[in-house]
Each structure stands twice: as structure tokens, then as C-alpha cells.
A and B are shown apart, each in its own frame.
Chain A
Amino acid sequence: MEPLKHILGLSPRGPSLLRSGRRAFLGGLFWVSLFSRRPKAAFAQSAIANPLGPALQVALEAVVDTIVPRDQDPGALDAGVPARIIAHLSTHPEALTLYRAGLGVLEGLARQAGASSFHALGGPEREQILSSLAGGPDGPRGVGAEFLVRARRDVLAFYWGSEVGQHVVGYPPPLSGYPDYADPPSGARSPQQ
């Protein structure tokens, strides 16, 4: 497993949006419209009782939205990631304990920062507080750090493993193979470049 400092060691350099990004943007409009109401609908239709309770569910949605936010492309809320995590927590008591504890730590940190809740914070403030868990007061092996590793993994996996995430980066799943495998992909440089 990679040490936390490296998982969180993102350099602040800006994005270099490639042609794939433009393609993803156009596709993203479709996905945003398709999934924008999905989280609430998913809970309403789900037979799974929410083991977190309403307050922590709101905090979870804020965490999910922080890890993969909506921008020109749909975010993790649009992809229904909270419902998938809650379904997982309902059958994994150890994970549920960790999520409850971690979300509780986040709520406490948000209040220390003068907000009423983690959910009430803006995106940059949420990212800052979430990042702080890696080296937080209970240390890199504390519950906050463990929660961050787990939540990051779960949200990234459920989002980028989904068809929504695949579409964002222009990845067609291999169900039909790749007959075009030898051709320059869209976004490839021409040989003269």
C-alpha cells in the first residue's frame, strides 16, 4: 500500500486538458442530465435501510462530492456513488464503524472551522479539511487517516469503475473488443508532430 503522504501528494500543477477531455465534456452534458437526480431517487427506491442516519448521510454526500466533484463532467453524486457506499456499509459492519467515526471527525473539524457542518463548507474548504485527516490530530494511523484512505478508495472505485466515469475519459468497455486497436486514437498526435 502506498504511504498516505504519497496518496495525497498531488502537485498543484494545472490540468492539461487533451482532446479526450473535450470529447468527455460533450458526453458529460448527457450524463449530467441523466444522473443529476439519481442519488435521492436511488434512496427512495432502495429497500436498503440507511445505516448512517440522515445527518451522517448528508456528510457522506459532501465527502463523495469532494472526492469527485461535478465540473464540466458529472461527479460522484451524479453517478449514484453514495447509494453504492451505503449499500456496502449495510453489509459490512467494520466499514460502517469506520465511516461513522470518520464522518464524525469531519463534522467536528468543520465546526472548529466555524461552519455548521462539513456539508455547509465550500469545495476548497472541504478539500482542505479532508486532506488534513492524513496528518490529523490522531496521527497518520488514526481513525481520520484510515477513513480518508477508505473513503477515497471507495468513491474513486465506484465512480471511475462505473459507466459514467468511463465516459468521462473516453473509455469504451471491451464488450465488443477493439477492432480499431491499430489505428491512431482520437486525441493522438500525428506522426509529423
Chain B
Amino acid sequence: MTVTKQESFDAVVVGSGAGGGFAAVGLAEAGMRVLLLERGRRFDPRRDFPMNHPDWELHPRAFRDTETPTGDVTLVLEEGALLDPRYAHLRSAGVRGAAFNQGSRRSPFRYERVFGLGGTTLHYQGEAHRFPEHAFRPASVYGFGVDWPLGYTDLAPYYDRAEQILGVAGDPANPFKPPRGPFPTPSHRLSYASQRIARGAAKLGWQLLPNSLALPTRSIDGRSPCQRSGGCAQGCIFGAKSSVDQTAIRRGEQTGRLQIQTDSRVLAIEMGPDGRTDAVIVRHGRTNSRVRTRVLVLATGAVETPRLLLAHRSARQPNGIGNSSGLVGQFFLDTLLAEITVRFDDRIDAYKGPPIDSRVWNFSRPSRDGRVRSGYVLGVSGTLGGFHGPMSHALLLPGFGRAHKDLMRSYFGTVVTLFGIAEQEPRAGNRVTLADSKDSDGVPLVRIQSAHSEADLLALDAMLTGVKDLASAAGAGEVLRQVTTYDAPAASHVGGTCRMGTDPRTSVVTAYGRTHDVPNLFIVDASVLPGQGAGDSPSLTIQAFALRAADHIASLARRQEL
């Protein structure tokens, strides 16, 4: 490998998503000189996203993922685990009951990620959840999963700080969340579609509550407030969504100590003779450069981070970097999701408004009735489920010709998706490992193994029952589509592959993200999360964790203990 250039920084952060962006701003504001490396490009919301065009559904997605034909592939796609026939009713099916997967195994796992400054927050829906207190101690309280080495109170001040940076909109009166003060911006009103579903929830004795969202209802830092376009997943054309590029990274740049380098992929981590990381080798175009650093912070996600660590084996690290426990890549957490898309017999125009503007938290505590399963949260979305604009409806509705056109006129604007997300039971057999084949940069591809436990299947079953009950109570009729991760894996809330803990034998990093093995190597992405917050979205917890880790790193640096 030819290296043409050398630079040196106090800290190098790899990956600019929820964890990396927030670690970078935390370190820069603490006075450190930071380089933030991002594999993708920087996007301009005013021109780079499909919704900048009226016929946006005909414009390609702005973000690259594993399915783009660029050769830039992460995964070896292979058949998944055997399906448990006792839960065959969980199979995914499209309009008119067409099964997505007619086989006896789960579909290949597809890891959809985003290359670009801001990472996955470029396409996330802005959900900004504090995990409930019990989610940090599920093993002690419920006998489910594993306890975290930190609790809610450890993260609370960093949740506050992250919410301020993001301008989170929410209602502090949520009875299912820890007591708190006002959110930085007021809650969104419920969309009309959610108002309709809320009536059904009330009939069941449940509460459909406004979601807490990184979609500010007032201008923050001179940005536009949320315009309720429903376009979060395509890239917010208003720059209103508080993706990390619009918030933490801009803030970090204002310190004058944060340098951003996009289109740059880390190919190798170099270790010094003292067992510390010394430098990274970065490819930018066809040029490789060496960047020296006092501290290295990895934030490339629950698949890429273990991939990077496992790929660098040597005599001193025969299992890869930071992997004396053998747990790098283990305890992979899939996403437990069950959703149905249903139809009302009148217009509800669910495509208008924040994409996931309401949630039911009544079931966020794990079950204790002898059949242990995770807690879960239900939600309402006008854009999940594949139905969004007219084109997506047309392609999903069956047939063609006159009848299809009639179907479009009667169905469009009448559908909404109800979904539930739970927490997968962590198991060592669910894991990310390296494959024999390599990508164009010579980095090994990964294989993902993920099977469901009984607890996982119980959670999927409970969520599917829940969303069907909710739809029925709200007066929805036809179920157009049912999708569950029983047979169709999803990658939106993955984690667990470099889990945090106090014991170096059973964890990879400390409660500050510091690897047990390498004193100046930190991890601040979803891979450190030992659990999934009972179905809440992980971004805000990752951001709070990254700010906490950054404080810790800065403190160590000041004390010359790095």
C-alpha cells in the first residue's frame, strides 16, 4: 500500500452518523483538534434529494446502500435461519396475500446503510427517544437480556445536551418516560391520520402519544422548522430535519477545530509497539494517506465497526483489534418489527406530516408472566410499508388497465401503516463474521447470522396482534400488507456487536466506549449497545453515549492518561 501523505490530529473519528458526529462535536468543543472521516459525500438539501423535484418518485435515491451496483458491497447474501413453523402466521405478505418469502428460511439479511455526511441520520425518520429506565436493567428487573454498565441517570445529562443540539420536539407529559423538563421545541400536533388511530387506541385503553422527534417545530440555529413533508427518508429538502450534518457537525465546524474529510474510507488501523492505535490509512479517491492520532474513535455502525476490527489480525491481535474477549461481532441484534398496512374507506392522507408522528408506549415493559419477551412500542406511519406517493401505490396495487386506475383513485390517500418494534434477545450465535471474499478495496465482506429465540417470536406475535387490534379499533378495513422480520430481516435498529460492559471477558468496551484492550481506541456507535431500549429508536441514546464518551476522552487527554 502506497501512502502519499501524512497528517496528525488529537483525535480521528471514523464515521459521521449519530455516534461519530456527536463524538466529533464533543471533542472539538472540549478543545481537541479533530478529523472526522466520512466515506460518502456531503449533501446539499436544496438540490441533492429526490423531493427537490415534483416528480420525486422518478428520481433515484440519493443515498448509496448495499444494493447499488457499484461493487461497493458489504455483505455476502445468504439464506437465513430456519423458520419456526409454529409462527407461520407471522409470514410477510403483500397485497392479495402474496407471500414475500415462500421458503423455509428467513430471507437473506440486507444491511441498508447510508454513505454520506450525517450517516444514517440522513435517512432516518427523526425519532429521538430516551430509552426508559428499565431498558438499562432488563436482566435484573425482568430476566431478559443483559444489564448495561450504565443507567438512565448516567446518560440523562447527555440526553439533555443531545436534545438541545437537535432541537427535539416532544411532549414532556409522556407517562411512560422518566420525568423531565420541557423539550427544546414544542410537540408536533398529531397528524390527521394519527388522530384517527388515536380514537381506536382510546377504545382499547391505550394512549397514542405524540412522538419525540428531531424535527424541530421552531427554528433552531437559523434552520427551517419542520415542514411536515413526510420526506425524512428521502433526505429533508428543507434542511429542517436534525440530521447530524445539519446539527452537530455544523456546530463542530464553528469551533474551528473540527476538520471534515468526506469521500474517505479507512482501510487499515495501524497499531504501535505499545499496543495502542497509532494511525489509520485512509483512501481518498486513488490516494492513500496515513493519519496519525492520539485517540481513535470508531463510529461506522454495528456491522462496519466489527468488520474493521476483525479484518486487522496480527501476531499480537490474532482475533482482530480489541477482540481478546472474542466477542467482537457477537450478540448481533437484528430488528424485531411487525407492521401492517391498512385501508380506511375515506381519505386520511397519511403521507402528510412527520413520517412517524405518534407512538403507543403502553407495552414498553418486558413481559413477566412466565413467558419472557421484550417490551415493545407501536407506531403509526404514513410512509412506511412501501406506500408513499402515487407511484409506489401503483406498483404495489395489483393488475393494470381500467380496473387498476379505478383502484388507484379509490385507494390513494386511504392507507396507513401500523407497526411495532421490540428488542431482540441477545444471543452469542447471532453474529457478524468475516467472509472469505473481499471488496474492491481488499476488505473482507461480512456474513450475518441471526436467528430468533422463543422470546423474539413471542414479541413479534404480540406486536402483530397489537397492530391488528389497533387497526380494527380505529375502523380500518382491509389489510393490504403484512411485513414482519420473522421471515424478512430488517436492519434499522441493529446493534450489540461490540457490547459495553465492566468485565473484559464478557464485553468489548467500557461504559465510556473505551475498548478494554486498546486504551486509545473508542467505539461510539450502535455496536456498543447491549440492548435495544424496548423498541425505542436508538439514535438519541447513541448520540448521548457519544457525547459522554467525548467528555471522558477529553478528560483523559487533559490528565495525560490517553
> A: which residues have CB within 8 A of B?
2-3, 6-10, 12, 14-21, 24, 66-69, 71, 73, 123, 127, 130, 152-153, 155-163, 165-166, 168-171, 173-189
Other contacts beyond A16-B345, A177-B238, A188-B347: 13, CB < 8 A: A6-B95, A21-B409, A21-B410, A69-B401, A157-B391, A161-B389, A161-B391, A169-B409, A174-B51, A174-B56, A174-B231, A180-B352, A187-B346
The answer to whether A161 and B55 touch (CB under 8 A), given A20-B347, A169-B408, A185-B413, is yes
How far is it, in angstroms, between the C-alpha of A18 and the C-alpha of B400 when the chains are bound?
20
Do B404 and A178 touch across chains, with their CB atoms under 8 A apart? no
The answer to whether B401 and A66 touch across the interface, beta carbons within 8 angstroms, is yes
**A188 touching B98, Cβ below 8 Å:** no
B402 x A69 contact (CB < 8 A) = yes
B94: interface (CB < 8 Å): yes
B408 touches A168 (CB 8 A): yes
Q: Which residues of B contact A153 (CB under 8 A)?
A: 395
User: A15–B395 contact, CB under 8 A?
Assistant: no
Q: Which residues of A contact B410 (CB under 8 A)?
A: 15-18, 21
Taken together as a complex, chains A and B put the C-alpha atoms of A162 and B57 apart, in Å, by 8
Say yes or no: is B58 at the interface (Cβ < 8 Å to chain A).
yes
A69 to B97, CA, bound (A): 27
Q: Does B110 contact A (CB under 8 A)?
A: no
A175 x B54 contact (CB < 8 A): yes
Give the dominant DSSP class at A's interface. loop
A-B contacts, 28 listed (Cβ < 8 Å): A2-B94, A6-B96, A7-B398, A7-B399, A8-B398, A12-B403, A20-B409, A20-B412, A67-B401, A123-B401, A156-B400, A160-B393, A161-B58, A161-B390, A165-B394, A168-B405, A171-B389, A171-B412, A173-B389, A174-B56, A174-B227, A174-B230, A175-B237, A177-B238, A181-B191, A181-B353, A182-B353, A187-B347
* Residues of B close to A130: CB separation below 8 A: 400-401
Q: How far is the CB of A20 from chain B (nearest CB, A)?
A: 6
Residue B377 is within 8 A (CB to CB) of chain A in the complex: no
Give the complex CA separation of A187 and B348 in angstroms: 8
Contact of A14 with B51 in the complex, beta carbons under 8 Å: no
A15–B406 CB distance below 8 A? yes
Instruction: Render B402-437 as a binary contact track against A, CB cut-off 8 A, 1 for contact.
Output: 111111111011100000000000000000000000
Q: Contact partner of A160 among B231, B390, B403, CB < 8 A?
A: B390
A150 to B327, CA, bound (A): 46
Query: By the criterion CB–CB under 8 Å, are A71 and B404 in contact?
Result: no
* Interface assignment of B192: CB less than 8 Å from any CB of chain A: yes
How far is B410's CA from A82's CA once the two chains are assembled, in angstroms?
26
* Residue B160 at the chain A interface, CB threshold 8 Å: no
Residues of chain A with a CB closer than 8 A to B348's CB: 185, 188
Let me know if B555 is at the binding interface, CB within 8 A: no
How near does chain B come to A82, taking the closest CB pair, in angstroms? Answer: 16
Give the chain A neighbours of B228 by CB distance below 8 A. Answer: 177-179, 181
CA of A2 to CA of B95 in the docked complex: distance in angstroms?
9
Rank and list the top 6 A-B pairs by shortest CB-CB distance, nearest first: A177-B227, A10-B399, A15-B406, A187-B347, A6-B98, A181-B353
Residue picked from B58, B406, B412, most chain A C-beta under 10 Å: B412
Cα(A182)–Cα(B382), bound, Å: 13
- Chain A residues positioned under 8 Å from B443 (CB to CB): none
